[in-house]
């Protein structure tokens, strides 16, 4: 009897853990899944998940920040800038978002700045 109870408890715990990503109608789930795949370098999938999170919770600053990072990793810098700005608008005091934005701005400025002239240019 005791053994059976333990087994049931064990099954319930594992089942709960394994289905935690299945609750896809929640923004948090998409966000968590997006971050899990982002850490593995799967930035396109991560961007998709973060976009889904934003659809479900448009005012979630974390989702906008994460989407900006994913877009940056995918080379879509103009959209990343928009997303960073939106994230900061929603949570202006968040130090992580501010730091991300500052580093991105530094990179983006130098990326868009054209310093040299083409050889033979008039």
Q: Where does this chain bind other proteins (CB under 8 A)?
A: 2-3, 6-7, 9-10, 13-14, 16-18, 20-21, 28-29, 31-33, 35-36, 38-39, 43, 62-63, 65-66, 69, 72-73, 75, 96-97, 99-100, 103-104, 107, 110-111, 114-120
User: Nearest approach, Cβ of 9 to other proteins (angstroms)?
Assistant: 7
What is the C-alpha to C-alpha distance for residues 34 and 94, in angstroms, rounded to an integer?
20
Of 10 and 55, which CB lies nearer to other proteins in the complex structure?
10
Count of residues for the chain?
A: 122
User: Nearest approach, Cβ of 79 to other proteins (angstroms)?
Assistant: 15
Name the H helices within 1-122.
Answer: 2-18, 27-38, 43-56, 61-73, 77-90, 95-112
Of 55 and 61, which CB lies nearer to other proteins in the complex structure?
61
Residue 42 near residue 32, CB atoms below 8 Å: no
Of 9 and 55, which CB lies nearer to other proteins in the complex structure?
9
Distant-in-sequence, close-in-space partners of 67: CB < 8 Å, separation ≥ 6:
47, 50, 51, 53, 54, 83
User: Nearest approach, Cβ of 34 to other proteins (angstroms)?
Assistant: 8
Alpha-carbon 58 to chain mean position: 13
User: Nearest approach, Cβ of 82 to other proteins (angstroms)?
Assistant: 16
Of 69 and 88, which CB lies nearer to other proteins in the complex structure?
69
């Amino acid at each position: 009897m005791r053994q059976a109870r333990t087994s049931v408890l064990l099954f319930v715990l594992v089942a709960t853990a394994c289905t935690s990503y299945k609750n896809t109608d929640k923004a948090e789930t998409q966000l968590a899944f997006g971050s899990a795949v982002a850490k593995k370098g799967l930035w396109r999938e991560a961007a998709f998940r973060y976009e889904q999170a934003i659809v479900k919770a448009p005012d979630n600053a974390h989702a906008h920040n994460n989407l900006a990072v994913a877009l940056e990793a995918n080379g879509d810098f103009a959209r990343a800038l928009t997303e960073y700005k939106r994230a900061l608008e929603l949570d202006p005091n968040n130090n992580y978002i501010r730091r991300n934005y500052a580093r991105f701005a530094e990179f983006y400025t130098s990326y868009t700045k054209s310093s040299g002239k083409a050889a033979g240019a008039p």
